Amino acid sequence: MVLLLLFLAGPIAYCAYIAFTDLQLTGQAHASFVGFDNFREAFQDEEFLNAVWLTLVFTVISSLIGQNTLGLALASLMQRASKPVRTLTGGIVITAWVLPEVVAGFLLYAFFRKEGTLNAILDALHLPSQNWLFTLPILAVSFANVWRGTAFSMLVYSAALNEIPKEITEAAEVDGAGGWRRMWHITLPMIRRSIGTNLMLNTLQTLSVFGLIWVMTRGGPGDKSQTLPLFMYEQAFQNSMIGYGTAVALLLLLVGSLFSVVYMRLLRTEV
Amino acid sequence: MPSRRTSRRLAADAGLLVVAAAFALPLAWVILSSLDPRAELRVKAPDGLTLDNFDAVLTPEITLTPLLNSLILCGGGTLLTVACSALAAYPLSRFRSRLNRPFLLTILFATSLPITAIMVPVYALFVRVNLIDTMQGTIFFFAASQLPFAIWLMKNFMDGVPKELEEAAWTDGASSFQSLIRIVLPLMGPGVAVVTVFSFVMMWGNFFVPFMLLLTPDQMPASVSINEFFGNRGMVAYGQLAAFSVIYSTPVILLYVLVARRLGGGFALGGAVKG
C-alpha cells in the first residue's frame, strides 16, 4: 500500500506538477511555473503532432487490426485443427510473447534489415525487396508488435471460444449456416465482451511500447517511427526539457486513463 | 459428415502451420545464428555447428554481471511484490468493508495505466530524492509497478481458500497475520507461485525501467546491456548477440513453461484479467 502510494501515486502527482513548469536537466536552481505553456507548445509542435499521428497508426495497425484479428483467427482455427498442430503453433506464438522485449526487438530488427530474412524470402519469390526499416519503419515496428503481442489475444479468444456451448454452433450448422455466417451471427456476438476487453488491453499495452521500437529504429530514420513514448524520451533527455517531456507523458497518461475507464465500464457489466 | 470434417481440419491445420512458420522465422534465426561461426542477419543453415559464440559471451563482463544484476533486481522486486501483495490482498479477500470495491477498482485502473508514461517524472523524482542509479530504488519501483496486478491476482487466488479453516485457527487464538502466514499462504501455494513467477518474468524482460533509472554500466541488467552489442562496439558480432539472447531468454521461457499448466492451459490469467 505504502509502496503503491509512494511510487505510483507520487510520481503521477509530481508528474502533474512538473508538467506545468519549465524544469530542465541543465540544473537551473528553480523551475518556474509556466501554466499551460507546455501543452500549448505541444499542440503547436509539428514533431509532437507527428508523434501523435504515428502512435495512432502504430496502435491501429498493430493492435486493433493486427493482434486482434490475427489472434481471433488463430483461436478459431485452433478450434478445428488437430492437436499436434495446435500445440506447435500455440507454443511458437507464445514463445514470441514471452521473450524479453529487447530480444524480440532485436530478432525483428534482423528480420526486417536490408540483409535480413524478409528480403531473402522476397528475393526467392522474385518480389521486389527494399530496406524496410528505412522506407516503412512504422510498418515494420507495427508488424513487430503483432509478432510479439498476438499470443495474448489468441489466449483470450481461445478461452472465450471454448465457453461457447457446442449445441449452439451445431444447431446453426444443421440449419445450414456456413462458416462465415456462423462466425458473424453467432460467434462474434457471443464473445463480444472478450473482444472489448481484449481490444482495451491491447491498446493500452501498445500505447506504452518503448523498448521494441527503440531497439529496432530508435524512432528513426528522422522521426518516421517516433511514437509518443519515444518522443517523450527524446524531449526529456536528449533535449533536456523534463517539463515538456512530462507534459507529453501526462497526455499519454490521460489517454491511457481514458481507455482504462472504458475498460472498467466493460468489466462492470460483466462482474 | 466425417470427410467434410476431416478436410476442414486439414484446412485449419494448413492455415495454422503457415502462421506458425511466419512466427518461427525470427526464432529460428536466433537459434541457428547462435550456433553459426559465421552468422549473418538472415536465416540460413549454419556453416558448421559451434559453441564458440557461447564461449565468447560467457565472460563475467558480458554475460555474468548483467545476469547477476538482473537476478538481484528482479529477485528483490519479486520478493517485495509478493510480500506486499499478500498483505494487501488478505484484508481485501477476508473482510467485508465498504472500501473494498473502490480500492479494487482503483487497483484495476492502475493495472492498465501505461507505465512508460510515468518514467520521465519518476526519473525527475528519483534525482530529487537521491535514488537515481541505485539498485534499491529500481527494485522499489519495479515492485510498485508490478503491485496492482499482483494484488489483483493474489486476491483472486486467495478467494479460493475456504474460510472455515482459518476460523478454526482464530478460535485457537491465532492472529490474522499468523493465520495468513501459517494457513492461507501455504494452502494457496500454487497461486503464490504463479504471482511470483509472473512478476519475475515481467521484470526480467523490462527494458525501460532500468534503462532510465540506472546509469552506471556495471549495475545494468541484461535487458539493457544487450544494447551494448549494437553501436558502441563497432562491428556487431551477430553470432555472439544471438548467443547472448538465447542465454538471456532461456530462464523466462522455462519459468513460463513451469507455470503455464497452473494457469490452466487456456489461460486463467485472461480470466483473472477479466475479473
A31: left (phi over 0), alpha (psi -120 to 50) or beta: beta
| Residue A51 in domain | yes
For chain A, the domain total comes to 1
Q: Which residues of A touch B90 (CB under 8 A)?
A: none
CATH of residue A254's domain is 1.10.3720.10
Least confident of A125-134, A151-160, A198-207: A125-134
Please choose, from the candidates B63, B17, B271, B48, the residue with its C-alpha nearest in 3D space to the C-alpha of residue A159.
Answer: B271
At B144, the pLDDT band (50, 70, 90 cuts) reads confident
Please choose, from the candidates A36, A44, A15, A21, the residue with its C-alpha nearest in 3D space to the C-alpha of residue A250.
A15
Q: Please, which residues 148-187 of chain B have a Cβ atom closer than 8 Å to chain A?
A: 148
The answer to whether ipTM exceeds 0.85 is no
A48 touches chain B (CB under 8 A): no
pLDDT tier at B40 (50, 70, 90 boundaries)?
Answer: low
Lowest-pLDDT choice from A3-7, A202-206, B174-178 = A3-7
pLDDT for res A23: 53
Identify whether the C-beta of residue A238 lies closer than 8 Å to the C-beta of residue A67: no
Confidence class for position A252, pLDDT limits 50, 70, 90? confident
Percentage above 70 pLDDT, chain B? 83
Provide the 3-class DSSP secondary structure of residue A168: helix
Nearest CA in chain A to B87: A1
Confidence band, pLDDT 50/70/90 cuts, at residue B189: confident
pLDDT value at position A8?
56
Give pLDDT, residue B265.
42
Q: Do B207 and A100 touch (CB under 8 A)?
A: yes
- Please give the pLDDT value at position B275: 33
Mean of all residue pLDDT scores within chain B: 76
Per-residue model confidence (pLDDT) at position B274: 38
Nearest CA to A111 out of B242, B65, B1, B27 is that of: B27
Which residues in chain A have Cβ-Cβ distances shorter than 8 Å to B40? Answer: 115
Residues of A in contact with B263 (CB under 8 A): none
Q: pLDDT by residue (tens digit) across B96-124? A: 777 677 777 777 777 767 777 777 777 87
Question: What is the predicted pLDDT for the residue at B60?
Answer: 72
Provide the chain A residues 88-117 that lie in CB contact (below 8 A) with chain B. 88-89, 92-96, 98-103, 106-108, 110-111, 113, 115-117
CA B138 to chain centre: 15
Answer whether residue A39 shows pLDDT above 70.
no
* Count of alpha carbons within 13 angstroms of residue B141, beta-carbon side: 26
Please report which helix (H) or strand (E) contains residue A151, including its range. Answer: helix A137-162
- Chain B interface, mutation test: which of A20, A85, A153, A255, most B Cβ atoms within 10 Å? A85
CATH class in words for B67-264: mainly alpha
Q: Is residue A28 part of a domain?
A: no
pLDDT attached to residue A27: 43
Element (H, E) at A74: helix A68-80
Yes or no, beta carbons of A249 and B120 under 8 Å apart = yes
Q: Provide mean pLDDT across the span B141-169.
A: 81
- Determine the residue of chain A that is closest to B18 in CA distance: A89
| Residue A161: closest C-alpha in chain B | B266
pLDDT digits (tens, 9 = 90+) for B17-36: 888 887 888 788 788 777 77
Of A42-56, B137-151, B252-266, the least confident: B252-266
In a domain, A27, yes or no: no
DSSP helix/strand/coil, A21: strand
- pLDDT, average across residues A1-12: 55
Quick one: closest CA in B to A153, which residue?
Answer: B270
Q: Which pTM does this prediction carry?
A: 0.77
* Per-residue pLDDT reduced to its tens digit, B197-226: 888 888 888 888 888 888 777 777 777 777
- Domain annotation covers residue A32: no
> Beta strands of A100-251 (E only): which ranges?
none
Q: Which of B1, B116, B141 to mutate to test the interface with A (most CBs of A within 10 A)?
A: B116
Decide if A253 and B41 are in contact by the 8 Å CB cutoff: no
Partner-chain residue, chosen from A3, A106, A116, that has the shortest CB–CB distance to B245: A106
User: For residue A28, what pLDDT is reported?
Assistant: 43
Q: Do the domain assignments include residue A45?
A: yes
Q: Is the pLDDT of residue A18 over 60?
A: no
For residue A194, what is the nearest residue in chain B, using CA coordinates?
Answer: B274
pLDDT at B267: 42
- Domain of A202, in residue numbers: 41-267
Q: Which of A79, A162, A246 sits opposite B121 (nearest CB)?
A: A246
pLDDT, position B42: 65
